[in-house]
Every structure is written in C-alpha cells, then in structure tokens.
Amino acid sequence: MIDSLSPRLALLVPEMILFVGAVFVAILGLSKNRARRESLPFITCAVLIASIIAVPLTWTDENAQGAGLLLPMLGRFVKPLLAAMGVWLVLLSVGSVDRRLEESVARGRQPFDAQKVARGEYYAFFLLSMMGAMLLCNAHDLIWLFLALELVSLPTYIMVAVGGNGSRPQEAAVKYFFLGAMSTAVFLYGFALLYGSTGTLELLAIRDALASQAAGSGIDTLATIGIVLIVLGLCFKITAVPMHFYAPDVYEGAPTHVTAFLSFVPKTAGFTALVLVLTCVGWTGHALIATDGVRVNYLGLPTPIAAILWMIAVLTMTLGNIAALLQNSVKRMLAYSSIAHSGYLVLGLIAGSTVGIDALYLYLVAYGVMTIATFAALASIERRGEEINSFSDLAGLRVRHPLMAWVIALCALALVGMPPFIGFFGKIYLFIAAFEANQLGLVIAAVINSAISGLYYLRLALVPLVSAPSSRSEEVTSVPSRWPQVAAVVCAVATVVLSFAVGYLLNAARSSTESAMSNATSPTHTEQP
C-alpha cells in the first residue's frame, strides 16, 4: 500500500493544482476590487492550463504502472481533454455570472456586498467538478470511483443555481439535484452488489474475480445485476435513456454557459466511469453454454449487459433525434441532440476493447468541440438581456451578427456528421468500431438516426444564414463580453482543423487504453469442449 502511494500522489498533481486554484478563486471572488473579481475566469483558465501542463510531467509510465490502476494511461488522454475543453467553457462564461449584480454595483445603485456575489463560488465549483472528472481516471477502487463521480455532480447542482439570474435556473437545479440523487442511489446499489459478488473493492481484483467467474460457469447473477444497475445509474450522467428525462428541462433552464458545461463534463465523466466498470467485465473471455454443455466463446460483453447497452444505444439515439425534431427552443433541441449523441457514443462502449474506446474518446473530443462552439455562439448573443431561446430569435442572425451566424451554421453541419468536419471522423470511427464488434444492426440504426438528425441540424444551419430577420431577432444584441465569441470561433475553427489531426488524436486515445487491454485474457472465437 505504501509503495503505491507515492506514484498515486504524483498522479494527483493536476487535481491538486485545480484544488488550490478552486480555493484561491473562491476567496478572490469576495474581493472588493472589481478588477480582481473580473480576473477570476482568467485565473481559472490559467489553473486549467497549469493542470494540462502537469499531466504529461507527472503521468509518466513509471508512476502510472506503479499506481495499480485498471487503465494506467487513461488519464494522460482524458485529463488534458477535460482541462482543454474546460478553458473554452470558462471563456464562454466570462461576464455571465453575477452580471446583474455587477452592473448595479458599477452604476452605484447598490454597494458591493460580499454575501451576494457568486462568481468566486461559481468558478471554484467549476474547478471542483472538473477535478472530480479528472479524479475518475485515477480510480483504483469502487469507493474512489463513487467519490469522484459525486465530486463531478455535486458542484454542478450549485452551478446551475448560481450561474445565472432569475428563478428558472433554480427550478432546474432542484430538478437536477433530486434526479441526480436518485441516479446516485441506483449506481451505488450496483456497486454494493458488485462488491457482494466479488468480495473486493479494488477494480483490478474485481476484474480478476469476474474473469475467473466467466471462466467458470459465467458471471454471477448478482454481479450482472450490479453492473446493469451501475450502467443504468450512470445513464444519468451521460443523459441516456432511461435517465435522460431531466436533460431538456435542465439544459433549457440552466444558463447557457452552465448548459455547455453540463453537456460535456458530466458526460465525459460518466463515459469514463462506464469504461472503467466495463473494462472490469472485459470484452473477451465470455462464453455461452449451449444445451449440450459446449462452451462457445464470443466477442463482446456478457449477453445481458450487451443487450441492455444495445437497447440504451438504440433508444437513446432514436428518442433524442425524434424529440429534437419537434423542438422550437434551440436549447431544448440541443439537449435532445446531446441525448442522441450519447446514443452514438454508447456504440463505442458496446464495441469495446481498444478500438471501441478509442472511437468513444475521439467522438467525445469531436462532440465537445462542436457542442461548446454552438453553446458559446448562443451565449455570446442575447435578446433584451434574456438568453436566446426560440429559433425565431436566430432568424436572419447573419445580418446583425454574421460571425456567430456562421459559427452556428458550421457547428450544425459538424454535428450532423458532414465531412470534412471532425464530427464525421468521429462517427466513421464509431461505425468502424461497431463493425469490428460485429454490430451491423447498430451501425444501421446509427445511420438511419444520422439521417434523421439531418432534418433539425439543417434547420439550425439555415435559420441564421438564410431566413429573413424576424421581429424577435431584430432585438438580438451581443453580450458585453467578447470572450464567448472568442471561444465560439476557436472551437468552430477546431471542428475543421482537428479533422486534419484525426490520426494524432486517435493515436493519443489508443495509447491511453491499449496497455491495459493487452493484458486482457483469452483469444476470441474459440470453441472448447
């Protein structure tokens, strides 16, 4: 235990940086000096960048192998990914938190009151949630996994409530909190059952226990139920059916910069947790016992888990896409589209092993860039001081805000999977992974769903560029801060540029997973008496 502690500590340096940053930001937010308060987001960015730099320095092969992790190199890819997206998520929130309050303080209508400001807390919780997502990569047992997952979620409940103005965010926060608590209960129960079946909390030991169960008469029913419950509970984090109900309401109710956060960070955390849990189960070494007692090994997860994931994938993408067709609110539509993208991502989980996980993380990069750019564009404009809501607010946006109109249109095309944007390569690689796992049916489902998604994304692309300005959109103005626009433009450019770096991204994703996968036991497609 002691000998593995120091590598484990070394791996935690990025999180420590974030924690120190969070404390510092929380205190600085109370400062009476306006300039200091306004520098908060940039300090947060600096902290995130510092943690990005810390990852390759501390996450050496030596440290990673010594820490007893299930996927030793996972963090080297996932942590910089999270922090890099975090930088843009921070930039798109510049000027939004505490805006009313700061304006009235600046005009001298009310004195500065340290008890009323929330900006410091917002960025502190932002960093804490980010830290939770990063800690997931270091999880070596179920307790750590659970705590990290909670650390992702708890700050987000508060961020939804304090990030904006008015009562809608608070309603969304309450909804989000209670449903989140329920999902926590579900996957905690799953953890308990898994522990009951394997008798250990260590992920590596669980993997071995499950492997020996599989080599015997198949994975224990108790463990199977546990894993299914974990998957269902984590569906909340990844906004997948059957735990997706909250997404449209919360995404719509939360302020746009928080919505952008919710659509990326908890999702990445949820998928990372799922990857860890499913890696314990493994994508090889499972067998069906035929009636004559012959063991037939097959590729993929054990049947009940694979079937559940299969249903989750198909239902999630179909429901997300069809519901998105019916929306008139842009943010609700994006919420459903985010649900649909989770459905595609589950393909990677089902396909599994190295290729599937690579595809999953590549698609997460793509999805993150595209979604953040879209939300940043939405966050950079407003109508009469209110957030953009309906499509008619966006009609003819190009007349008044050509740049943001182009960003929205470009992101819509990227989200639909139009080449040569990064979304296309993400999708291609997911399909390839599904093919590798013999999941032709899933590919067809995803193809049909992509076609359906064309309908509403095309609307999102054409409304700002082509429609004549409506009376509502005449009143649309830019928000005072330029930073959301910067985030939007940079991420939009990234959707194009990253597609030329797809090979690099894939290699990075691959090196993060393959070391563990190479330990996986037993060849596939063999028959034993």
User: Which residues contribute to the site for other proteins (CB under 8 A)?
Assistant: 355, 358, 413, 416, 418-420, 424-425, 428-429, 431-432, 435-436, 440, 443-444, 447-448, 450-451, 454-455, 458, 462, 465-467, 500, 502-503, 506-507, 510
Q: How far is the CB of 458 from other proteins (least distance, A)?
A: 5
Q: How far is the CB of 504 from other proteins (least distance, A)?
A: 9
Q: How far is the CB of 47 from other proteins (least distance, A)?
A: 34
Q: How far is the CB of 92 from other proteins (least distance, A)?
A: 25
Are the beta carbons of 125 and 158 closer than 8 angstroms?
yes
CA distance 369 to 85: 7
- Spatial strand order in the sheet of 295-298: 286-289, 295-298, 527-528
Question: What's the alpha-carbon Rg for the chain, to the nearest Å?
Answer: 23
Residue 38 or 436 having the CB closest to other proteins: 436
Residue 308 or 410 having the CB closest to other proteins: 410
Q: Which residues pair with 141 in a beta bridge?
A: 202
Residue 5 or 440 having the CB closest to other proteins: 440
Question: What's the Cα-to-Cα distance from 72 to each of 107, 132, 133, 293, 509, rounded to whole Å?
Answer: 53, 18, 16, 38, 13
Q: How far is the CB of 454 from other proteins (least distance, A)?
A: 4
Residue 144 or 298 having the CB closest to other proteins: 298
Question: What's the Cα-to-Cα distance from 361 to each of 47, 78, 87, 184, 354, rounded to whole Å?
Answer: 24, 8, 18, 24, 11
Classify residue 432 by burial, with Cβ atoms within 10 Å: 0-12, 13-18, 19+: middle
CA distance 476 to 381: 7
Residue 294 or 440 having the CB closest to other proteins: 440
Are the beta carbons of 441 and 362 closer than 8 angstroms?
no
Residue 94 or 410 having the CB closest to other proteins: 410
Classify residue 197 by burial, with Cβ atoms within 10 Å: 0-12, 13-18, 19+: buried
Residue 173 or 434 having the CB closest to other proteins: 434
Q: How far is the CB of 26 from other proteins (least distance, A)?
A: 43
3-class SS of residue 399: helix
Helix axes 440-466, 330-351, angle to 10 degrees: 160
Are the beta carbons of 219 and 183 closer than 8 angstroms?
no
Residue 290 or 448 having the CB closest to other proteins: 448
Q: How far is the CB of 450 from other proteins (least distance, A)?
A: 6
Q: How far is the CB of 420 from other proteins (least distance, A)?
A: 5
Per-residue three-class SS string for 132-180: HHHHHHCCCEHHHHHHHHHHHHHHHHHHHHHCCCCCHHHHHHHHHHHHH
Q: How far is the CB of 70 from other proteins (least distance, A)?
A: 23
Give the total residue count for the chain.
Answer: 529
Residue 179 or 443 having the CB closest to other proteins: 443
CA distance 232 to 227: 9
Q: How far is the CB of 55 from other proteins (least distance, A)?
A: 23
Cα–chain center distance at 114: 33
Are the beta carbons of 62 and 497 closer than 8 angstroms?
no
Listed residue (253, 198, 257) closest to 226, CA to CA: 198
Q: How far is the CB of 462 from other proteins (least distance, A)?
A: 6
- Helix, strand, coil % (nearest 5) of the chain? 75, 5, 20
CA distance 364 to 61: 24
Cα-Cα-Cα-Cα dihedral sign, residues 13, 18, 24, 27: negative
Q: How far is the CB of 507 from other proteins (least distance, A)?
A: 7
Q: How far is the CB of 502 from other proteins (least distance, A)?
A: 5
Cα–chain center distance at 329: 22
Mention every residue, 6+ apart, whose C-beta is less than 8 A from residue 42: none
Residue 4 or 438 having the CB closest to other proteins: 438
Residue 321 or 481 having the CB closest to other proteins: 321
